[in-house]
Amino acid sequence: METLTVHKVLSVRPVGTRAVLAELPGTQDVLALQTLLLESPLPGQVDVLAAAQTVMVRADSPAAARRMGALLLELDLTAPAKQDGGLVFIDTVYDGEDLAEVGRLTGLGTEGVIEAHSGQVWTVAFAGFAPGFGYMVGENQALEVPRRSSPRTAVPAGSVALAGNYSAVYPRRSPGGWQLIGRTGARMWDLSRAEPALASPGHRVQFRAVRDVVTMAPEHAGPAPAPAAGTPADTPDRETRSGLRIVAPGLQSLIQDLGRHGHSALGVSAAGALDRASLRRANRLVGNSPSAAAIESVAGGLRIQAVGDQVLAVAGAPSALTIDPPSDAESDGEGNQRRQRSVPMATPFALLDGEILTLGAPESGFRSYLAVRGGVDAAPVLGSRSTDTMSGIGPAPLAAGQLLASGDVTESGVVGSPELQPEFPGDGVTVLDIVLGPRADWFDEAALDSLCGQEWVVKPQSNRVGMRLDGTPLQRSRQGELPSEGTVAGAIQVPPEGLPVLFLADHPITGGYPVIGVVVDHQLDLAAQVPIGGSIRFRRVTEQTSPERNSSEQTSQEKVSN
């Protein structure tokens, strides 16, 4: 058991309207403050995320976030914080591609690197990049090395690596720029365990040099889908008698609910529906609880067939909804010929057994949400049925022939009345309010004016991780690298090339590029509806003047004529 002492919080910066970033002198101070906040949460505290020199605290409301800033600065941090994460042994074969280069950079030579790495205890300071990827700090600085000048496009799972003052193990195959010194068969992330991360923040790690390791089993992002999660059409239906069959998934269709919150320390983002208001609306219309799982579909093209009679509703991007009768149906049983019919958006309707619903291309907006009464009965992972496209956690993207069972997540015995929907982005420019920071000081006033003074176009490379924007690049006023720190959905990160990336729900939980501003929380639903090729203009507001509006019901949009 190790006793750490925090000296003080150096400063607190706002991160949008629902989070704050506390800056500290060093990693040991970060670990201690994280421990204190987890043991004695601040009022309104939702999540705590430690990073290299910062601790980000998420709040349940803008008001709570504002109070947290003052509380963090006033905290008595002189009392010792006890941290006991246990000791984890990781057997390692030291034969990495960069082992000789690390020996040259450190002056230790190959054998010296192995001795230095395995001869000290490492502590997991924070998680990030991917679930199970823990940034470990050692007892000395003998192995401090830079990242590779050219990152690898694919680093094998189990690779043991160094970068800066940190060591880590890649939990899954992914791109990466760390120096590879070895490999291990230890499974760093396994959702079949009660604690998925083998070594989470606070754990101590001892690497043991071995000649060989047990080959890792084929990696999987989550547990095998439960029967309700769906199967291909040529697989027996497992007695599922009620649900939806995917005839065509369109461009991309995913199962989403309101997300898996509170797992930042494991390196897991919240994910969940990008347009939360539309998900809630669709669920409300069919009598579900607001958090029931539904189908999020992009740009139309989704076709589903009812297995048993179903009650559905579609909200989000306005589209033509057409229903075709079963191909073998000649009448409805009373002698009436079944014909194609249309149903309205934001209204509950019946889809009878065998009928097929088609979502047309959106007239405006980008994402649609299809709710079925009872919710989509997929297997929950860490408390959510959402698909996280970055980490691979949750159900796989929907595929033709897949059968989704309907569940029993209802809240009302009746369906809701038809509702009005807000306007969605069309031919105009979508204006999004932002709070500057936490790293606006990396840019001069000219760059800040450029950020808000031009129209940014959403590039085709955009996805649920982030919207890549095209325009006049922003110039930094400060050089160098920013130590990794926590990020949030809505963060506008600026890579060295100067073209911003607007993070969405599947974003990495930590990042090393400066965040110039953050979209206010209640407008994230609106941002999710900006299509590829659409235009965005950012508008500066202050943390105090940003309206505290209910993100589940209200969005705003301004149309600017071209």
**Same domain (yes/no): 509, 537:** yes
- Asked, for residue 122, whether it belongs to a domain, the answer is yes
Helix H, strand E, coil C: the string for 350-386 is EECCCCEEEECCCCCCCEEEEEECCCECCCCECCECC
**Same domain (yes/no): 179, 59:** no
Residue 71 sits in a domain whose CATH number is: 3.30.1360.40
**Same domain (yes/no): 133, 251:** no
CA angle 551, 556, 562 (to 5 degrees): 150
- Asked, for residue 512, whether it belongs to a domain, the answer is yes
Label residues 309-337 b or e (16+ Cβ within 10 Å = b).
ebbbbbbbbbbebebbbeeeeeeeeeeee
**Same domain (yes/no): 118, 238:** no
**Same domain (yes/no): 529, 455:** yes
**Interatomic CA distance for residues 12 and 376, integer angstroms:** 41
Quick check: 424 and 345 in contact, CB under 8 A? Answer: no
CA distances for 92 relative to 130, 181, 209, angstroms: 20, 9, 5
What average pLDDT does range 167-194 have in this prediction? 92
What pLDDT band is residue 377 in, cutting at 50, 70 and 90? very high
Asked if the model's pLDDT at residue 2 lies above 70, the reply is: no
Asked whether the bond before 531 is cis by omega within 30 degrees of 0, the reply is no
Question: How many structural domains is the chain composed of?
Answer: 4
Asked if the model's pLDDT at residue 216 lies above 60, the reply is: no
Q: Map tokens 């579909």 to a residue.
A: 297
**Same domain (yes/no): 321, 200:** no
What pLDDT band is residue 223 in, cutting at 50, 70 and 90? very low
pLDDT of residue 264: 85
Task: Kindly state the tokens that stand for 532.
Answer: 């590829």
**Same domain (yes/no): 296, 397:** yes
Q: Map tokens 């070594």 to a residue.
A: 199
pLDDT of residue 265: 82
**Same domain (yes/no): 44, 119:** no
Where do the DSSP E strands lie in 198-242?
Answer: 204-209
Single-letter residue type at 301: G
pLDDT of residue 547: 56
- H helix and E strand count, the chain: 7, 35
- Asked, for residue 221, whether it belongs to a domain, the answer is no
- Asked, for residue 108, whether it belongs to a domain, the answer is yes
What average pLDDT does range 2-20 have in this prediction? 80
**Same domain (yes/no): 276, 373:** yes
Residue at which a domain ends, from 350, 373, 405: 405
Residue 458 sits in a domain whose CATH number is: 2.40.100.10
- Asked, for residue 399, whether it belongs to a domain, the answer is yes
Count Cα atoms within 13 angstroms, Cβ side, for 66.
11
What pLDDT band is residue 185 in, cutting at 50, 70 and 90? very high
Residue at which a domain ends, from 209, 237, 265: 209
E strand or H helix at 126, and its extent? strand 122-127
pLDDT cut 70: percent of the chain above it: 86
Q: What residue spans of 260-364 are helical by DSSP H? A: 276-286
E strand or H helix at 323, and its extent? strand 321-324
Asked if the model's pLDDT at residue 335 lies above 80, the reply is: no
Where do the DSSP E strands lie in 143-259?
Answer: 152-155, 159-163, 166-169, 174-176, 179-183, 204-209, 243-249, 253-256
Burial bucket for residue 339 (CB in 10 Å: 0-12, 13-18, 19+): exposed
Asked if the model's pLDDT at residue 187 lies above 70, the reply is: yes
**Interatomic CA distance for residues 238 and 231, integer angstroms:** 9
Q: Map tokens 């965005």 to a residue.
A: 536
Quick check: 290 and 284 in contact, CB under 8 A? Answer: yes
CA angle 550, 555, 559 (to 5 degrees): 160
**Same domain (yes/no): 532, 447:** yes
What average pLDDT does range 201-228 have in this prediction? 66
pLDDT of residue 426: 67
Q: Which domain holds residue 27?
A: 9-77
- Asked, for residue 497, whether it belongs to a domain, the answer is yes
What pLDDT band is residue 390 in, cutting at 50, 70 and 90? confident
Q: State the maximum Cα–Cα separation within the chain, in Å, rounded to a whole number.
A: 88
At a CB cut-off of 8 Å and minimum separation 6, what does 6 contact? 24, 29, 32, 33, 36, 77, 78, 81
Single-letter residue type at 81: A
Most confident of 75-84, 174-183, 327-336, 423-432: 174-183
pLDDT digits over 248-305, tens only? Answer: 999 999 999 999 988 888 889 999 999 999 999 999 999 999 999 999 999 999 999 9
Smallest Cα–Cα separation from 519: which of 532, 503, 505, 531? Answer: 503
Task: Kindly state the tokens that stand for 227.
Answer: 């029967």
Question: What dihedral do alpha carbons 174, 175, 177, 179 form, nearest 10°?
Answer: 40
**Same domain (yes/no): 246, 380:** yes
CA angle 5, 11, 15 (to 5 degrees): 115
At a CB cut-off of 8 Å and minimum separation 6, what does 70 contact? none
- Asked, for residue 422, whether it belongs to a domain, the answer is no
pLDDT of residue 411: 81
- DSSP letter, residue 228: G
- Asked, for residue 561, whether it belongs to a domain, the answer is no
Asked if the model's pLDDT at residue 231 lies above 80, the reply is: no
What pLDDT band is residue 194 in, cutting at 50, 70 and 90? confident
**Same domain (yes/no): 100, 46:** no
What average pLDDT does range 84-104 have in this prediction? 93
Task: Kindly state the tokens that stand for 346.
Answer: 């934001």
pLDDT digits over 526-552, tens only? Answer: 999 999 999 999 999 986 555 554 333
Residue at which a domain ends, from 182, 209, 236: 209
Strand 367-372: give its sheet, edge to edge. Answer: 253-256, 294-298, 367-372, 310-316, 349-351
